[in-house]
Structure 1
Amino acid sequence: MRLEQLAYLVAVQESKSISLAAERAHISQPALSSALSKLEDELGVVLLTRTNSGAHLTEIAELIILKAKEVLNIIDDIKSIAQGNSVELNGNISAAADPGVNITIMPDILTTFKRNHPKVNTLLKVGESNNILQDVRTGKANFGIILDTEEFCQSKDINCKKLFSDKFVIITGANSKINLESIPLKQALDLPILLYNTEYITNCGVSSLLRKFGEINVSYRVDNLEMMEKILSQGESIAFVPQFMADEFLKANKIKKILIKDADLEVSVILIWSNRHHLSLAEKEFIRAIKKTCSQRTAL
Protein backbone atom coordinates (compact mmCIF):
# COMPACT_ATOMS: atom_id res chain seq x y z
CA MET A 1 0.00 0.00 0.00
CA ARG A 2 1.39 3.40 -1.01
CA LEU A 3 0.47 6.81 0.34
CA GLU A 4 -0.45 8.10 -3.10
CA GLN A 5 -3.06 5.36 -3.41
CA LEU A 6 -4.72 6.61 -0.24
CA ALA A 7 -4.47 10.19 -1.51
CA TYR A 8 -6.13 9.17 -4.80
CA LEU A 9 -8.96 7.46 -2.93
CA VAL A 10 -9.54 10.58 -0.82
CA ALA A 11 -9.44 12.71 -3.99
CA VAL A 12 -12.18 10.58 -5.59
CA GLN A 13 -14.39 11.09 -2.55
CA GLU A 14 -13.82 14.85 -2.54
CA SER A 15 -14.22 15.30 -6.29
CA LYS A 16 -17.03 12.75 -6.67
CA SER A 17 -15.43 11.94 -10.01
CA ILE A 18 -12.44 9.84 -11.10
CA SER A 19 -11.63 12.18 -13.98
CA LEU A 20 -11.72 15.29 -11.77
CA ALA A 21 -9.71 13.53 -9.07
CA ALA A 22 -7.07 12.61 -11.67
CA GLU A 23 -6.96 16.19 -12.91
CA ARG A 24 -6.42 17.54 -9.40
CA ALA A 25 -3.76 14.89 -8.72
CA HIS A 26 -2.01 15.81 -11.99
CA ILE A 27 -2.03 12.25 -13.36
CA SER A 28 -3.97 10.54 -16.12
CA GLN A 29 -7.32 8.96 -15.39
CA PRO A 30 -6.10 5.45 -16.40
CA ALA A 31 -3.12 5.80 -14.03
CA LEU A 32 -5.39 6.76 -11.12
CA SER A 33 -7.83 3.93 -11.89
CA SER A 34 -4.94 1.47 -12.08
CA ALA A 35 -3.58 2.63 -8.71
CA LEU A 36 -6.98 2.15 -7.07
CA SER A 37 -7.43 -1.26 -8.69
CA LYS A 38 -4.09 -2.37 -7.22
CA LEU A 39 -5.21 -1.07 -3.83
CA GLU A 40 -8.41 -3.10 -4.13
CA ASP A 41 -6.38 -6.23 -4.94
CA GLU A 42 -4.08 -5.67 -1.99
CA LEU A 43 -6.90 -5.07 0.48
CA GLY A 44 -9.16 -7.74 -0.99
CA VAL A 45 -12.19 -5.44 -1.09
CA VAL A 46 -14.14 -3.48 -3.70
CA LEU A 47 -13.62 0.26 -3.30
CA LEU A 48 -15.43 1.51 -6.39
CA THR A 49 -18.53 0.22 -8.10
CA ARG A 50 -18.50 1.24 -11.75
CA THR A 51 -21.81 1.85 -13.52
CA ASN A 52 -22.99 3.69 -16.64
CA SER A 53 -23.50 6.76 -14.50
CA GLY A 54 -19.93 6.66 -13.20
CA ALA A 55 -17.91 5.22 -10.32
CA HIS A 56 -19.27 5.21 -6.78
CA LEU A 57 -17.45 4.58 -3.52
CA THR A 58 -18.55 1.52 -1.59
CA GLU A 59 -19.41 1.56 2.10
CA ILE A 60 -16.10 -0.06 3.01
CA ALA A 61 -14.28 2.57 0.95
CA GLU A 62 -15.91 5.35 2.97
CA LEU A 63 -14.68 3.71 6.19
CA ILE A 64 -11.17 3.30 4.79
CA ILE A 65 -11.14 6.96 3.71
CA LEU A 66 -11.73 8.09 7.30
CA LYS A 67 -8.52 6.32 8.34
CA ALA A 68 -6.71 7.40 5.18
CA LYS A 69 -7.30 11.05 6.06
CA GLU A 70 -5.86 10.48 9.51
CA VAL A 71 -2.77 8.91 7.96
CA LEU A 72 -2.32 11.72 5.43
CA ASN A 73 -2.69 14.35 8.16
CA ILE A 74 -0.03 12.62 10.24
CA ILE A 75 2.30 12.49 7.23
CA ASP A 76 1.78 16.22 6.70
CA ASP A 77 2.59 16.87 10.35
CA ILE A 78 5.78 14.79 10.09
CA LYS A 79 6.87 16.71 6.98
CA SER A 80 6.17 20.01 8.72
CA ILE A 81 8.22 19.01 11.78
CA ALA A 82 11.10 17.66 9.68
CA GLN A 83 11.33 20.61 7.33
CA GLY A 84 10.35 23.37 9.78
CA ASN A 85 10.30 26.83 8.29
CA SER A 86 12.40 25.70 5.34
CA VAL A 87 9.52 23.83 3.71
CA GLU A 88 8.85 25.05 0.18
CA LEU A 89 5.15 24.72 -0.42
CA ASN A 90 3.64 24.20 -3.85
CA GLY A 91 0.32 23.26 -5.39
CA ASN A 92 -3.00 24.96 -5.98
CA ILE A 93 -5.50 26.50 -3.58
CA SER A 94 -9.14 27.03 -4.51
CA ALA A 95 -10.85 29.43 -2.11
CA ALA A 96 -13.96 31.60 -2.09
CA ALA A 97 -14.72 34.75 -0.12
CA ASP A 98 -17.66 37.00 0.67
CA PRO A 99 -17.29 40.33 -1.21
CA GLY A 100 -16.77 42.35 1.97
CA VAL A 101 -13.98 40.02 3.04
CA ASN A 102 -12.51 40.10 -0.46
CA ILE A 103 -12.08 43.87 -0.62
CA THR A 104 -10.90 44.36 2.97
CA ILE A 105 -8.93 41.35 4.17
CA MET A 106 -7.93 39.19 1.23
CA PRO A 107 -5.54 41.62 -0.58
CA ASP A 108 -3.05 41.60 2.32
CA ILE A 109 -3.43 37.84 2.82
CA LEU A 110 -2.91 37.02 -0.86
CA THR A 111 0.10 39.26 -1.39
CA THR A 112 1.84 38.22 1.85
CA PHE A 113 1.17 34.53 1.25
CA LYS A 114 2.42 34.71 -2.35
CA ARG A 115 5.59 36.47 -1.22
CA ASN A 116 6.27 33.75 1.36
CA HIS A 117 5.19 30.83 -0.84
CA PRO A 118 5.74 31.82 -4.50
CA LYS A 119 5.15 28.31 -5.86
CA VAL A 120 1.58 28.08 -4.53
CA ASN A 121 -1.11 29.24 -6.96
CA THR A 122 -4.27 30.62 -5.40
CA LEU A 123 -7.59 30.84 -7.23
CA LEU A 124 -10.01 33.09 -5.36
CA LYS A 125 -13.69 33.27 -6.24
CA VAL A 126 -15.92 36.03 -4.88
CA GLY A 127 -19.51 35.16 -4.07
CA GLU A 128 -22.48 35.52 -1.79
CA SER A 129 -22.17 33.48 1.40
CA ASN A 130 -24.86 30.88 0.62
CA ASN A 131 -23.40 30.36 -2.86
CA ILE A 132 -19.94 29.82 -1.37
CA LEU A 133 -21.40 27.32 1.09
CA GLN A 134 -22.75 25.34 -1.85
CA ASP A 135 -19.37 25.50 -3.63
CA VAL A 136 -17.63 24.09 -0.55
CA ARG A 137 -20.23 21.33 -0.25
CA THR A 138 -19.76 20.28 -3.87
CA GLY A 139 -15.97 20.57 -3.87
CA LYS A 140 -15.75 23.55 -6.24
CA ALA A 141 -13.96 25.44 -3.49
CA ASN A 142 -11.66 23.82 -0.93
CA PHE A 143 -12.69 26.34 1.70
CA GLY A 144 -14.48 29.66 2.01
CA ILE A 145 -14.83 32.76 4.16
CA ILE A 146 -18.48 33.63 4.60
CA LEU A 147 -21.01 35.36 6.81
CA ASP A 148 -22.69 33.07 9.32
CA THR A 149 -26.01 32.66 7.49
CA GLU A 150 -29.15 30.76 8.43
CA GLU A 151 -28.43 28.21 5.70
CA PHE A 152 -24.99 27.56 7.18
CA CYS A 153 -26.53 26.90 10.60
CA GLN A 154 -28.61 24.12 9.00
CA SER A 155 -25.72 22.59 7.06
CA LYS A 156 -24.00 19.32 7.86
CA ASP A 157 -20.53 17.90 7.18
CA ILE A 158 -18.98 21.38 7.31
CA ASN A 159 -16.13 22.40 9.59
CA CYS A 160 -15.94 26.02 10.67
CA LYS A 161 -13.76 28.46 12.54
CA LYS A 162 -15.06 31.83 13.72
CA LEU A 163 -12.75 34.62 12.58
CA PHE A 164 -14.40 37.73 14.02
CA SER A 165 -17.77 39.30 14.82
CA ASP A 166 -19.44 42.39 13.41
CA LYS A 167 -22.91 43.86 12.92
CA PHE A 168 -25.01 44.92 9.97
CA VAL A 169 -25.43 48.59 9.11
CA ILE A 170 -27.07 50.40 6.21
CA ILE A 171 -25.27 52.12 3.36
CA THR A 172 -26.71 54.48 0.77
CA GLY A 173 -25.61 57.34 -1.45
CA ALA A 174 -23.81 60.26 0.17
CA ASN A 175 -26.51 62.59 -1.21
CA SER A 176 -29.43 60.40 -0.14
CA LYS A 177 -32.53 62.09 1.24
CA ILE A 178 -32.09 60.05 4.41
CA ASN A 179 -30.33 62.66 6.55
CA LEU A 180 -30.26 60.60 9.73
CA GLU A 181 -27.42 58.89 11.54
CA SER A 182 -29.74 56.02 12.48
CA ILE A 183 -33.22 54.78 11.57
CA PRO A 184 -35.58 52.09 12.91
CA LEU A 185 -35.28 48.70 11.18
CA LYS A 186 -38.96 48.67 10.18
CA GLN A 187 -38.55 51.99 8.38
CA ALA A 188 -35.44 50.71 6.61
CA LEU A 189 -37.21 47.56 5.38
CA ASP A 190 -39.78 49.74 3.59
CA LEU A 191 -37.07 51.46 1.55
CA PRO A 192 -35.84 50.12 -1.82
CA ILE A 193 -33.20 47.50 -0.97
CA LEU A 194 -30.24 46.34 -3.04
CA LEU A 195 -28.99 42.79 -2.47
CA TYR A 196 -25.62 41.38 -3.46
CA ASN A 197 -26.21 37.97 -4.99
CA THR A 198 -24.16 35.82 -7.35
CA GLU A 199 -26.85 33.41 -8.51
CA TYR A 200 -30.29 33.65 -10.13
CA ILE A 201 -32.14 33.03 -6.88
CA THR A 202 -34.43 35.17 -4.78
CA ASN A 203 -32.96 34.18 -1.44
CA CYS A 204 -29.56 34.89 0.10
CA GLY A 205 -28.04 35.16 3.54
CA VAL A 206 -28.90 38.83 4.07
CA SER A 207 -32.49 38.54 2.79
CA SER A 208 -33.08 35.48 5.02
CA LEU A 209 -32.00 37.50 8.03
CA LEU A 210 -34.08 40.55 7.15
CA ARG A 211 -37.24 38.55 6.48
CA LYS A 212 -37.28 37.52 10.11
CA PHE A 213 -38.29 41.10 10.86
CA GLY A 214 -40.92 41.53 8.14
CA GLU A 215 -41.38 41.88 4.39
CA ILE A 216 -38.54 43.50 2.49
CA ASN A 217 -38.68 45.77 -0.54
CA VAL A 218 -36.04 44.33 -2.89
CA SER A 219 -35.45 46.59 -5.89
CA TYR A 220 -32.08 45.35 -7.17
CA ARG A 221 -29.95 42.23 -7.13
CA VAL A 222 -26.40 42.63 -8.42
CA ASP A 223 -23.28 40.47 -8.45
CA ASN A 224 -20.73 43.24 -8.89
CA LEU A 225 -19.48 45.63 -6.20
CA GLU A 226 -18.77 48.40 -8.70
CA MET A 227 -22.36 48.26 -9.92
CA MET A 228 -23.53 48.09 -6.32
CA GLU A 229 -21.65 51.30 -5.49
CA LYS A 230 -22.93 53.10 -8.60
CA ILE A 231 -26.56 52.25 -7.88
CA LEU A 232 -26.30 53.15 -4.19
CA SER A 233 -24.54 56.43 -4.99
CA GLN A 234 -27.73 57.59 -6.73
CA GLY A 235 -29.28 57.75 -3.26
CA GLU A 236 -32.52 55.98 -4.16
CA SER A 237 -31.81 52.62 -2.50
CA ILE A 238 -30.05 51.13 0.51
CA ALA A 239 -28.07 47.99 1.27
CA PHE A 240 -27.49 46.05 4.48
CA VAL A 241 -23.81 45.14 4.85
CA PRO A 242 -21.42 44.32 7.71
CA GLN A 243 -19.85 47.42 9.25
CA PHE A 244 -16.31 46.49 8.14
CA MET A 245 -17.54 46.40 4.53
CA ALA A 246 -19.41 49.71 4.93
CA ASP A 247 -16.26 51.40 6.23
CA GLU A 248 -14.44 50.34 3.06
CA PHE A 249 -17.19 51.83 0.85
CA LEU A 250 -17.03 55.11 2.79
CA LYS A 251 -13.45 55.71 1.63
CA ALA A 252 -14.68 56.74 -1.83
CA ASN A 253 -16.91 59.50 -0.35
CA LYS A 254 -19.82 58.37 -2.55
CA ILE A 255 -21.48 56.33 0.18
CA LYS A 256 -22.61 57.08 3.71
CA LYS A 257 -23.39 54.80 6.64
CA ILE A 258 -26.60 54.72 8.65
CA LEU A 259 -26.93 52.78 11.88
CA ILE A 260 -29.95 50.66 12.75
CA LYS A 261 -31.60 52.31 15.74
CA ASP A 262 -33.67 49.57 17.37
CA ALA A 263 -32.06 46.26 16.36
CA ASP A 264 -28.61 44.75 16.81
CA LEU A 265 -28.09 42.58 13.72
CA GLU A 266 -24.96 40.71 14.72
CA VAL A 267 -23.01 38.67 12.20
CA SER A 268 -19.97 36.40 12.42
CA VAL A 269 -17.36 36.00 9.71
CA ILE A 270 -16.37 32.33 9.56
CA LEU A 271 -13.96 30.08 7.74
CA ILE A 272 -15.54 26.88 6.40
CA TRP A 273 -14.34 23.68 4.74
CA SER A 274 -15.89 20.30 4.11
CA ASN A 275 -15.01 17.52 6.53
CA ARG A 276 -14.71 15.36 3.41
CA HIS A 277 -11.78 17.46 2.21
CA HIS A 278 -8.20 16.63 3.22
CA LEU A 279 -6.38 19.91 3.70
CA SER A 280 -2.97 20.05 2.03
CA LEU A 281 0.07 21.62 3.68
CA ALA A 282 -0.36 24.69 1.48
CA GLU A 283 -4.03 25.02 2.44
CA LYS A 284 -3.22 24.65 6.13
CA GLU A 285 -0.60 27.39 5.85
CA PHE A 286 -3.05 29.61 3.95
CA ILE A 287 -5.67 29.10 6.67
CA ARG A 288 -3.09 30.03 9.31
CA ALA A 289 -2.42 33.25 7.37
CA ILE A 290 -6.15 34.03 7.31
CA LYS A 291 -6.51 33.43 11.06
CA LYS A 292 -3.46 35.57 11.81
CA THR A 293 -4.71 38.50 9.73
CA CYS A 294 -8.19 38.32 11.26
CA SER A 295 -6.83 38.12 14.82
CA GLN A 296 -4.74 41.22 14.15
CA ARG A 297 -7.84 42.96 12.84
CA THR A 298 -9.88 42.22 15.96
CA ALA A 299 -7.02 43.44 18.13
CA LEU A 300 -7.11 46.91 16.55
Structure 2
Amino acid sequence: MNIEQLENIVEVTKTKSLAIASKNLHITQSAISQSISKLEKELGVKLFTRSRSGTIPTLEGQIIIQKAFEIIKNIEEIRVEAQNQSNNQEGEIRIVTIPIAMDSLVKMISSLIKDYPKVKFEISESGSNEIMNSINENKVDLGLIAIEKDSFVKEKGINFEPFLEGEIVVGVGKNSPLATRKSITPQEMLDYPYVVYNEVYNREFLEHFSKTVGPVQILFTTNNVSAILNALEDDIAITVGYDFSFFNAPAVSNGDIVTLEIKNYEQQPIVLGWVKSEKLKNSQFYRYFIDRLIQAFEEANLYKW
Protein backbone atom coordinates (compact mmCIF):
# COMPACT_ATOMS: atom_id res chain seq x y z
CA MET A 1 0.00 0.00 0.00
CA ASN A 2 1.27 3.47 -0.87
CA ILE A 3 0.09 7.08 -0.95
CA GLU A 4 -0.51 6.99 -4.71
CA GLN A 5 -2.96 4.09 -4.33
CA LEU A 6 -4.84 5.96 -1.62
CA GLU A 7 -4.97 9.10 -3.76
CA ASN A 8 -6.34 7.02 -6.64
CA ILE A 9 -9.23 5.48 -4.68
CA VAL A 10 -10.10 8.86 -3.16
CA GLU A 11 -10.25 10.53 -6.58
CA VAL A 12 -12.31 7.71 -8.09
CA THR A 13 -14.74 7.99 -5.18
CA LYS A 14 -15.06 11.74 -5.70
CA THR A 15 -15.61 11.55 -9.45
CA LYS A 16 -17.35 8.13 -9.67
CA SER A 17 -15.34 7.62 -12.84
CA LEU A 18 -12.00 6.01 -13.68
CA ALA A 19 -11.74 8.16 -16.81
CA ILE A 20 -12.29 11.46 -15.01
CA ALA A 21 -10.06 10.46 -12.11
CA SER A 22 -7.24 9.54 -14.49
CA LYS A 23 -7.57 12.93 -16.20
CA ASN A 24 -7.51 14.79 -12.87
CA LEU A 25 -4.49 12.84 -11.65
CA HIS A 26 -2.67 13.06 -15.02
CA ILE A 27 -2.18 9.30 -15.32
CA THR A 28 -3.72 6.71 -17.61
CA GLN A 29 -7.01 5.01 -16.86
CA SER A 30 -5.23 1.67 -17.12
CA ALA A 31 -2.72 2.76 -14.46
CA ILE A 32 -5.51 3.69 -12.03
CA SER A 33 -7.35 0.43 -12.69
CA GLN A 34 -4.19 -1.62 -12.06
CA SER A 35 -3.41 0.39 -8.93
CA ILE A 36 -6.87 -0.31 -7.48
CA SER A 37 -6.71 -4.00 -8.43
CA LYS A 38 -3.36 -4.40 -6.65
CA LEU A 39 -4.71 -2.67 -3.54
CA GLU A 40 -7.84 -4.84 -3.53
CA LYS A 41 -5.68 -7.94 -3.83
CA GLU A 42 -3.42 -6.78 -1.01
CA LEU A 43 -6.35 -5.99 1.30
CA GLY A 44 -8.50 -8.91 0.25
CA VAL A 45 -11.48 -6.55 -0.18
CA LYS A 46 -13.31 -5.41 -3.30
CA LEU A 47 -13.41 -1.60 -3.12
CA PHE A 48 -15.58 -0.64 -6.10
CA THR A 49 -18.36 -1.90 -8.31
CA ARG A 50 -19.37 -0.53 -11.70
CA SER A 51 -22.98 0.43 -12.44
CA ARG A 52 -24.96 2.87 -14.54
CA SER A 53 -24.26 5.43 -11.82
CA GLY A 54 -20.53 5.04 -12.32
CA THR A 55 -17.75 3.47 -10.26
CA ILE A 56 -19.21 3.19 -6.76
CA PRO A 57 -17.59 2.02 -3.50
CA THR A 58 -18.78 -1.31 -2.10
CA LEU A 59 -20.08 -1.47 1.47
CA GLU A 60 -16.77 -2.92 2.63
CA GLY A 61 -14.90 -0.40 0.51
CA GLN A 62 -16.69 2.60 2.03
CA ILE A 63 -15.06 2.02 5.43
CA ILE A 64 -11.59 1.68 3.95
CA ILE A 65 -12.03 4.62 1.57
CA GLN A 66 -13.19 6.86 4.42
CA LYS A 67 -9.94 6.14 6.23
CA ALA A 68 -8.07 6.87 2.97
CA PHE A 69 -9.78 10.27 2.84
CA GLU A 70 -8.55 11.00 6.37
CA ILE A 71 -5.00 9.91 5.52
CA ILE A 72 -4.89 12.03 2.36
CA LYS A 73 -6.21 15.01 4.30
CA ASN A 74 -3.45 14.59 6.90
CA ILE A 75 -0.83 14.26 4.16
CA GLU A 76 -2.04 17.49 2.54
CA GLU A 77 -1.83 19.25 5.92
CA ILE A 78 1.75 18.00 6.29
CA ARG A 79 2.61 19.30 2.80
CA VAL A 80 1.07 22.68 3.55
CA GLU A 81 2.93 22.92 6.84
CA ALA A 82 6.20 21.95 5.16
CA GLN A 83 5.62 24.60 2.48
CA ASN A 84 4.92 27.21 5.16
CA GLN A 85 8.15 26.33 6.91
CA SER A 86 10.00 26.55 3.61
CA ASN A 87 8.57 29.99 2.91
CA ASN A 88 9.56 31.14 6.40
CA GLN A 89 13.09 29.75 6.15
CA GLU A 90 15.53 32.63 6.41
CA GLY A 91 19.27 32.92 6.15
CA GLU A 92 22.08 32.67 3.66
CA ILE A 93 23.66 29.74 1.88
CA ARG A 94 27.15 30.24 0.47
CA ILE A 95 28.03 27.91 -2.37
CA VAL A 96 31.19 27.65 -4.42
CA THR A 97 31.52 25.39 -7.46
CA ILE A 98 33.99 24.40 -10.10
CA PRO A 99 33.17 26.21 -13.38
CA ILE A 100 31.90 23.14 -15.25
CA ALA A 101 28.96 22.76 -12.85
CA MET A 102 27.85 26.40 -12.81
CA ASP A 103 25.04 26.05 -15.39
CA SER A 104 23.42 23.19 -13.48
CA LEU A 105 23.78 24.96 -10.16
CA VAL A 106 22.29 28.23 -11.38
CA LYS A 107 19.26 26.39 -12.76
CA MET A 108 18.75 24.56 -9.47
CA ILE A 109 19.04 27.72 -7.39
CA SER A 110 16.47 29.45 -9.60
CA SER A 111 14.09 26.62 -8.74
CA LEU A 112 14.86 26.74 -5.02
CA ILE A 113 14.23 30.48 -4.78
CA LYS A 114 10.54 29.77 -5.40
CA ASP A 115 10.45 27.44 -2.38
CA TYR A 116 12.72 29.58 -0.19
CA PRO A 117 12.00 33.23 -1.06
CA LYS A 118 13.60 34.51 2.16
CA VAL A 119 16.87 32.62 1.71
CA LYS A 120 19.77 34.50 0.15
CA PHE A 121 21.98 32.43 -2.15
CA GLU A 122 25.60 33.40 -2.75
CA ILE A 123 27.35 31.46 -5.49
CA SER A 124 30.88 31.70 -6.88
CA GLU A 125 33.42 29.73 -8.91
CA SER A 126 36.77 28.32 -7.85
CA GLY A 127 39.06 25.32 -8.25
CA SER A 128 38.57 22.12 -6.28
CA ASN A 129 41.60 22.66 -4.02
CA GLU A 130 40.57 26.23 -3.29
CA ILE A 131 37.05 25.05 -2.48
CA MET A 132 38.39 22.58 0.08
CA ASN A 133 40.39 25.37 1.71
CA SER A 134 37.31 27.60 1.82
CA ILE A 135 35.30 24.84 3.54
CA ASN A 136 38.09 24.41 6.10
CA GLU A 137 38.19 28.13 6.78
CA ASN A 138 34.38 28.37 7.02
CA LYS A 139 34.22 30.85 4.16
CA VAL A 140 31.54 28.83 2.35
CA ASP A 141 28.84 26.37 3.38
CA LEU A 142 28.81 23.97 0.45
CA GLY A 143 31.32 23.18 -2.26
CA LEU A 144 30.85 21.31 -5.52
CA ILE A 145 34.18 19.77 -6.54
CA ALA A 146 35.54 17.34 -9.12
CA ILE A 147 38.29 14.86 -8.30
CA GLU A 148 39.69 11.67 -9.78
CA LYS A 149 37.73 8.61 -8.69
CA ASP A 150 38.93 7.06 -5.43
CA SER A 151 41.48 9.85 -4.88
CA PHE A 152 39.59 11.79 -2.19
CA VAL A 153 41.40 11.72 1.12
CA LYS A 154 38.95 12.28 3.96
CA GLU A 155 39.89 15.26 6.03
CA LYS A 156 38.82 15.64 9.61
CA GLY A 157 35.65 17.62 9.93
CA ILE A 158 34.77 17.50 6.19
CA ASN A 159 32.22 15.28 4.50
CA PHE A 160 32.45 14.39 0.81
CA GLU A 161 29.36 13.06 -0.99
CA PRO A 162 30.00 11.89 -4.56
CA PHE A 163 27.00 11.74 -6.86
CA LEU A 164 28.15 11.82 -10.46
CA GLU A 165 30.89 10.07 -12.38
CA GLY A 166 31.91 11.35 -15.78
CA GLU A 167 34.36 11.11 -18.65
CA ILE A 168 35.73 13.49 -21.23
CA VAL A 169 33.70 13.78 -24.43
CA VAL A 170 34.29 15.72 -27.65
CA GLY A 171 32.04 18.67 -28.49
CA VAL A 172 31.47 19.70 -32.11
CA GLY A 173 29.34 22.34 -33.81
CA LYS A 174 26.14 21.38 -35.64
CA ASN A 175 27.81 22.28 -38.98
CA SER A 176 30.68 19.87 -38.42
CA PRO A 177 30.74 16.67 -40.50
CA LEU A 178 31.12 14.90 -37.14
CA ALA A 179 27.75 16.20 -35.89
CA THR A 180 25.85 13.22 -37.28
CA ARG A 181 27.97 10.74 -35.33
CA LYS A 182 27.82 9.43 -31.78
CA SER A 183 31.52 8.66 -31.28
CA ILE A 184 35.02 9.44 -32.46
CA THR A 185 38.32 7.54 -32.27
CA PRO A 186 41.52 8.94 -30.75
CA GLN A 187 43.27 8.87 -34.13
CA GLU A 188 40.43 10.86 -35.72
CA MET A 189 40.75 13.45 -32.97
CA LEU A 190 44.26 14.28 -34.17
CA ASP A 191 42.83 15.67 -37.42
CA TYR A 192 41.11 18.66 -35.78
CA PRO A 193 42.23 21.86 -34.01
CA TYR A 194 40.85 22.57 -30.53
CA VAL A 195 39.40 25.42 -28.53
CA VAL A 196 39.51 24.59 -24.84
CA TYR A 197 37.76 25.90 -21.76
CA ASN A 198 40.48 26.90 -19.28
CA GLU A 199 39.87 24.22 -16.65
CA VAL A 200 42.53 22.00 -15.10
CA TYR A 201 40.96 18.67 -16.07
CA ASN A 202 40.62 19.67 -19.71
CA ARG A 203 44.28 20.64 -19.81
CA GLU A 204 45.39 17.46 -18.05
CA PHE A 205 43.36 15.32 -20.43
CA LEU A 206 44.87 16.93 -23.54
CA GLU A 207 48.38 16.71 -22.09
CA HIS A 208 47.95 12.98 -21.42
CA PHE A 209 46.28 12.50 -24.82
CA SER A 210 49.20 14.20 -26.60
CA LYS A 211 51.68 11.92 -24.85
CA THR A 212 49.79 8.67 -25.44
CA VAL A 213 48.17 9.24 -28.87
CA GLY A 214 49.82 12.23 -30.50
CA PRO A 215 50.12 16.03 -30.28
CA VAL A 216 46.95 18.08 -30.73
CA GLN A 217 46.69 21.59 -32.13
CA ILE A 218 45.13 24.05 -29.68
CA LEU A 219 43.91 27.25 -31.32
CA PHE A 220 43.22 28.98 -28.00
CA THR A 221 42.28 28.40 -24.37
CA THR A 222 39.71 30.67 -22.74
CA ASN A 223 37.17 31.13 -19.95
CA ASN A 224 34.82 32.80 -22.44
CA VAL A 225 32.14 30.25 -23.33
CA SER A 226 30.83 32.44 -26.16
CA ALA A 227 34.22 32.38 -27.87
CA ILE A 228 34.21 28.57 -27.79
CA LEU A 229 30.64 28.42 -29.11
CA ASN A 230 31.52 30.78 -31.97
CA ALA A 231 34.50 28.65 -32.96
CA LEU A 232 32.38 25.51 -32.97
CA GLU A 233 29.54 27.23 -34.83
CA ASP A 234 31.96 28.40 -37.54
CA ASP A 235 33.39 24.86 -37.65
CA ILE A 236 36.97 26.03 -37.22
CA ALA A 237 37.65 23.78 -34.21
CA ILE A 238 36.25 21.19 -31.82
CA THR A 239 36.43 21.06 -28.03
CA VAL A 240 36.65 18.61 -25.13
CA GLY A 241 35.00 18.58 -21.72
CA TYR A 242 33.46 16.31 -19.13
CA ASP A 243 30.06 14.98 -20.15
CA PHE A 244 28.32 16.50 -17.11
CA SER A 245 29.74 19.93 -17.97
CA PHE A 246 27.41 19.96 -20.97
CA PHE A 247 24.36 19.25 -18.81
CA ASN A 248 21.87 22.16 -18.98
CA ALA A 249 24.04 23.94 -21.56
CA PRO A 250 21.60 25.77 -23.89
CA ALA A 251 23.84 25.16 -26.90
CA VAL A 252 23.52 21.40 -26.39
CA SER A 253 19.79 21.54 -25.70
CA ASN A 254 19.06 23.46 -28.90
CA GLY A 255 21.37 21.32 -31.02
CA ASP A 256 24.12 23.86 -31.70
CA ILE A 257 26.63 21.53 -30.03
CA VAL A 258 26.77 17.74 -30.35
CA THR A 259 28.81 15.60 -27.95
CA LEU A 260 30.69 12.48 -29.07
CA GLU A 261 31.97 9.56 -27.00
CA ILE A 262 35.69 8.83 -27.36
CA LYS A 263 36.01 5.18 -28.40
CA ASN A 264 38.84 2.86 -27.37
CA TYR A 265 40.58 5.34 -25.09
CA GLU A 266 41.03 4.52 -21.43
CA GLN A 267 40.24 7.42 -19.13
CA GLN A 268 40.52 8.02 -15.42
CA PRO A 269 36.94 8.82 -14.41
CA ILE A 270 36.28 12.06 -12.59
CA VAL A 271 33.79 12.30 -9.76
CA LEU A 272 31.56 15.28 -9.05
CA GLY A 273 30.50 15.63 -5.42
CA TRP A 274 29.61 17.88 -2.51
CA VAL A 275 31.91 18.86 0.32
CA LYS A 276 30.69 20.45 3.52
CA SER A 277 31.80 20.87 7.09
CA GLU A 278 30.51 18.33 9.62
CA LYS A 279 29.74 21.30 11.86
CA LEU A 280 27.45 22.88 9.28
CA LYS A 281 24.25 24.11 10.90
CA ASN A 282 20.78 23.72 9.43
CA SER A 283 21.84 20.42 7.86
CA GLN A 284 18.24 19.50 6.93
CA PHE A 285 17.97 22.47 4.59
CA TYR A 286 21.30 21.67 2.92
CA ARG A 287 20.30 18.02 2.62
CA TYR A 288 17.18 19.14 0.76
CA PHE A 289 19.25 21.38 -1.51
CA ILE A 290 21.69 18.59 -2.36
CA ASP A 291 18.87 16.12 -2.99
CA ARG A 292 17.19 18.56 -5.38
CA LEU A 293 20.33 18.85 -7.50
CA ILE A 294 20.81 15.08 -7.55
CA GLN A 295 17.18 14.71 -8.61
CA ALA A 296 17.78 17.09 -11.51
CA PHE A 297 20.63 14.88 -12.76
CA GLU A 298 18.50 11.75 -12.27
CA GLU A 299 15.70 13.23 -14.36
CA ALA A 300 18.21 13.92 -17.12
CA ASN A 301 19.47 10.31 -16.85
CA LEU A 302 22.89 11.61 -15.80
CA TYR A 303 22.99 10.31 -12.23
CA LYS A 304 25.78 7.73 -12.11
CA TRP A 305 26.45 6.72 -8.54
TM-score interval, smaller chain: 0.5 to 0.7
Shift of 1:137: 5.0
1:272 maps to which of 265, 271, 275: 275
Shift of 1:171: 0.6
Please show how residues 1-300 of structure 1 align to structure 2 within 5 Å.
86-87=84-85, 88-104=88-104, 106-107=106-107, 109-127=108-126, 129=128, 132-133=131-132, 135-149=134-148, 153=152, 156-157=155-156, 158-176=158-176, 178=178, 181=181, 182-188=183-189, 191-197=192-198, 204-215=200-211, 217=216, 218-246=218-246, 248=249, 249-263=251-265, 265=267, 266-275=269-278, 278-281=280-283, 282-298=285-301
Residues 120 and 221 of structure 1, relative CA distance in 2, 3 Å threshold? same
Q: Is the 8 A contact 2:194 2:220 kept in 1?
A: yes
Q: Is the 8 A contact 2:194 2:237 kept in 1?
A: yes
Q: Which amino acid aligns with 2:265?
A: A
The normalised TM-score by structure 2 is: 0.55
Q: Which amino acid aligns with 2:170?
A: I
CA RMSD of aligned residues (A): 3.6
Shift of 1:94: 1.2
Shift of 1:120: 0.7
Q: Is the 8 A contact 2:164 2:302 kept in 1?
A: no
Deviates more, 1:286-295 or 1:162-171: 286-295
Greater Rg by CA: 2
CA distance in 2, matches of 1:259, 1:164: 17
Shift of 1:155: 7.5
Deviation track 1:97-117 (CA, whole Å, cap 9, x = no partner) reads 34443324541x213321111
Shift of 1:124: 1.6
Equivalences, count: 211
Shift of 1:264: 5.1
SS in 1 for 2:231: helix
Q: Which amino acid aligns with 1:259?
A: E
CA distance in 2, matches of 1:151, 1:141: 24
5+ long unaligned stretches in structure 1: 1-82, 199-203
SS in 1 for 2:167: strand
Q: Is the 8 A contact 2:168 2:242 kept in 1?
A: yes
5+ long unaligned stretches in structure 2: 1-80
CA distance in 2, matches of 1:120, 1:168: 35
The normalised TM-score by structure 1 is: 0.56
